[in-house]
């Protein structure tokens, strides 16, 4: 009996590509140009991009890894691929404990288990959303808010969000969300890379988030949790509001600016 492998779509890569306002063909052309710039010509095609986004191909070769990073401005581990990493091994540290070290033999694929939703959510969350959260700065003793325009791509009950270029109140501060919808509850994780020349000097912050969706499906609000500068655990309000269900190039261009 023949079984068919279940492919997990790479919604992160798709969201990043859409955020760059590129079609699959545009993206492939940009990868080929990047290869020429890097001195590593490649044969990226629309079909290859489709295979990546559909999850059929999950581990791009090195030449594509470098081209992808050049085009998107993001490291390969932030593009939703399953990477080949050294096999982790546990060893005694000599002081009564144990450490995790990378072994020199073999590699293991860093791919998570496939999660199948009992009831897939209807396709109603894809589009451009206004993201706003509040955080307290202990070093400045003030509460601030951060705003982004993000593109949400939905696949079943999974939502993948990426901020649009230049669409944040803090310049060069890209935001990513990986969420799961369970009826009216949205749960997941967030990651934000702060600007290298900003107040937080390029620090990367991440944490968890849970929100409730209003019956209209146009607003979700809840709380985030994450660590602070002194590695204390903080929390605060987070809200997403739907701005436009279109993800055309014109729409994405319209929202590629700091939110009000």
pLDDT recorded at residue 119: 39
Of 46, 57, 18, 49, nearest to 161 by C-alpha is 18
Q: What is the mean pLDDT of the chain?
A: 81
Q: What DSSP string describes 83-136?
A: EEEEEEEEEE-SSSSEEEEEEEEEEEEE-PPPP--SSPPPS---EEEEEEEEEE
What is the percent of the chain with per-residue pLDDT over 70, rounded to a whole number?
78
If pLDDT is split at 50, 70 and 90, which confidence band does 203 have? confident
Whether the predicted pLDDT of 102 surpasses 50:
no
pLDDT recorded at residue 198: 66
pLDDT recorded at residue 63: 87
More confidently predicted of 155 and 89: 155
pLDDT tens across 165-193, in order? 989 887 778 899 999 999 889 999 999 98
pLDDT recorded at residue 202: 65
pLDDT recorded at residue 200: 66
The one-character DSSP state at 140 is T
Backbone angle region of 122, left / alpha / beta, with phi > 0 → left and psi within -120 to 50 → alpha:
beta
């Amino acid at each position: 009996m023949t079984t068919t492998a279940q492919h997990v779509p790479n919604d992160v890569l798709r969201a990043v590509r859409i955020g760059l306002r590129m079609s699959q063909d545009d993206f492939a052309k940009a990868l080929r140009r990047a290869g020429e710039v890097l001195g590593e010509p490649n044969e990226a095609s629309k079909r290859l991009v489709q295979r990546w986004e559909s999850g059929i191909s999950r581990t791009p070769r090195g030449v594509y890894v470098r081209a992808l990073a050049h085009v998107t401005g993001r490291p390969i581990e932030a593009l939703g691929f399953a990477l080949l990493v050294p096999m982790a091994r546990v060893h005694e540290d000599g002081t009564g404990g144990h450490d995790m070290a990378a072994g020199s033999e073999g590699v293991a694929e860093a791919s998570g288990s496939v999660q199948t939703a009992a009831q897939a959510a209807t396709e109603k969350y894809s589009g451009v959303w206004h993201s706003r959260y509040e955080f307290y700065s202990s070093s400045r003793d003030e509460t601030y808010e951060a705003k982004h325009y993000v593109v949400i791509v939905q696949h079943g009950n999974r939502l993948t969000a990426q901020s649009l270029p230049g669409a944040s109140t803090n310049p060069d501060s890209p935001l990513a969300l990986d969420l799961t919808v369970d009826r009216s509850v949205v749960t997941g994780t967030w990651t934000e890379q702060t600007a290298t020349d900003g107040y937080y000097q390029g620090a990367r912050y991440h944490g968890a988030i849970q929100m409730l969706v209003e019956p209209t499906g146009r607003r979700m609000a809840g709380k985030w949790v994450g660590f602070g500068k002194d590695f204390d655990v903080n929390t605060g309000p987070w809200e997403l509001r739907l701005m436009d269900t279109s993800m055309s190039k014109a729409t994405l261009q319209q929202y590629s600016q700091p939110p009000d």
